[in-house]
């Protein structure tokens, strides 16, 4: 460990920060995927036109239909395609097709897809599978808990894992598919060449570059502080992302009335 703030032993669920790991069994099984396919399988998208187009393309390549997605529906009108995890779920269906597994119930703990995800996380964290607490994520799949320092370790060695460079290259090629122009993870990847980053629910962000892995967690679960926190923490490592230094607060008239910044302590 080369830098820390707060409690690095804090245990929490990885939530969507797991998505690059969850894409590993997919790229190991499917050589026919392009960068956009892999990126959207690693994404928490905002359902913009390009992102939805990438999900549709991955479903077509699987092949699978939107009705087979088990992530629930979001958006107006509600559709499974619009769910921010639909790319990951499309990737899981594509994995089922490649392996000849039944797709029904792929989100459930006993299904081969989720058993493969469990094995990937245990291998990446260098722990026994029985040591990984599990829960059910917001989109219905299994999510894994570990200390923040272990998440940072996982990301520091991500590209050493089989398929890790393939996933990382896809994320770097399409950072806008991973979240969106205002997403902290997207901004990190656009600002720091060679880095990858992935946010997760409850104020979590994991990132890696140059052999360094980081994991930051907002204690109260509110993600709005992540940008300034990432800016402050990376500055201690000699890395600067000015775009994340402050979150501005505007009123209904469009007037800037405040900002959220790290206090520097």
Query: What are the domain boundaries of the chain?
Result: 11-261
Please say whether the beta carbons of 54 and 180 come within 8 A: no
3-class DSSP state for residue 252?
A: coil
The C-alpha atoms of residue 153 and residue 14 are separated, in whole angstroms, by 13
Share of the chain above pLDDT 90, in %: 98
| Of the candidates 118, 117, 106, 22, the residue with the CA atom closest to the CA atom of residue 64 | 106
pLDDT tens for 15-49 read: 999 999 999 999 999 999 999 999 999 999 999 99
Phi, psi angle pair for 249, to nearest 5°: -115, 115
pTM metric for this prediction: 0.96
Mean pLDDT of 187-216: 97
Locate all alpha helices (DSSP H) within 66-182, ordered by sequence: 86-99, 112-125, 148-156, 164-173, 175-178
pLDDT tens for 61-119 read: 999 999 999 999 999 999 999 999 999 999 999 999 999 999 999 999 999 999 999 99
Give residue 72's pLDDT.
94
Give residue 263's pLDDT.
86
Question: Sign of dihedral through CA atoms 80, 83, 86, 87?
Answer: positive
Q: Please determine, for residue 155, whether its predicted confidence score (pLDDT) is greater than 60.
A: yes
Q: Please determine, for residue 265, whether its predicted confidence score (pLDDT) is greater than 70.
A: no
Q: Please determine, for residue 264, whether its predicted confidence score (pLDDT) is greater than 80.
A: no
- Whole-angstrom CA distances from 21 to 29, 42, 135, 159, 243 are 14, 8, 16, 10, 27
The C-alpha atoms of residue 191 and residue 31 are separated, in whole angstroms, by 29
Q: Please determine, for residue 214, whether its predicted confidence score (pLDDT) is greater than 60.
A: yes
Q: What's the distance, CA 3 to chain centroid?
A: 22
Mean pLDDT (the chain, rounded)? 97
The C-alpha atoms of residue 160 and residue 164 are separated, in whole angstroms, by 6
């Amino acid at each position: 460990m080369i830098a820390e703030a707060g409690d690095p032993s804090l245990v929490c669920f990885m939530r969507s920060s797991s998505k690059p790991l969850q894409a590993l069994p997919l790229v190991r099984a499917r050589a026919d995927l392009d960068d956009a396919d892999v990126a959207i399988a690693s994404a928490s998208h905002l359902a913009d036109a390009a992102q939805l187009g990438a999900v549709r393309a991955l479903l077509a390549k699987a092949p699978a239909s939107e009705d087979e997605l088990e992530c629930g529906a979001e958006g107006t009108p509600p559709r499974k395609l619009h769910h921010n995890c639909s790319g990951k779920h499309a990737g899981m269906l594509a994995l089922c097709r490649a392996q000849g597994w039944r797709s029904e119930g792929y989100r459930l703990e006993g299904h081969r897809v989720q058993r493969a995800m469990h094995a990937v996380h245990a291998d990446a964290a260098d722990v026994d599978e029985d040591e990984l607490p599990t829960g059910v994520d917001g989109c219905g799949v299994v999510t894994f808990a570990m200390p923040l320092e272990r998440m940072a370790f996982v990301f520091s060695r991500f590209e050493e894992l089989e398929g890790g460079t393939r996933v990382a290259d896809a994320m770097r090629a399409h950072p806008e598919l991973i979240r969106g122009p205002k997403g902290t993870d997207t901004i990190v990847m656009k600002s720091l060449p060679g880095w990858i980053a992935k946010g997760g629910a409850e104020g979590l962000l994991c990132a890696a570059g140059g052999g360094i892995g980081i994991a930051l967690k907002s204690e109260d679960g509110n993600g709005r502080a992540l940008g300034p926190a990432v800016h402050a923490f990376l500055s201690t490592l000699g890395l600067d992302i000015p775009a994340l230094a402050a979150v501005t607060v505007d009123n209904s008239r469009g007037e800037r009335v405040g900002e959220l910044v790290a206090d520097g302590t």
